[in-house]
Chains A and B, each alone.
Chain A
Amino acid sequence: MPIDLSLLVTAEDKAAAARTRIEAAVNAERQRRIEAGKVIDGVHVTGRDEDARNLTNLALAAQMRISGGDTTTLTTYRDGNNVDHALTPPQMLALWQQSSAYVSDLYAASWAMKAMEPMPEDVTADELWPAVSGE
Chain B
Amino acid sequence: MHISFSPQLRNDALTISKSGDVLTINGKVFDFSVVGEGDDLPEVAIVESDFVEGITTRVDGRLHITLRLPYSRGGHVEAPPPLIDPSDGVLALPSLDEELPHAD
Contacts and interface: CB of A to CB of B under 8 A. Distances in A.
Contacts of B31: 3
A1 B29 CA distance: 9
Nearest to A6: B45
B41 A2 contact: no
Contacts of A3: 30-32, 34, 41, 45-47
B36 A4 contact: no
A11 B30 contact: no
Interface residues of B, number: 20
Nearest to B48: A2
Nearest to B46: A3
Contacts of B38: 10-11, 14
B85 interface: no
Interface in A6-32: 6-11, 14
Interface of B: 28-32, 34-42, 44-49
19 contacts: A2-B28, A2-B29, A2-B47, A3-B31, A3-B34, A3-B41, A3-B45, A4-B45, A4-B46, A4-B47, A5-B34, A7-B44, A7-B45, A8-B39, A9-B39, A9-B42, A11-B38, A14-B38, A14-B40
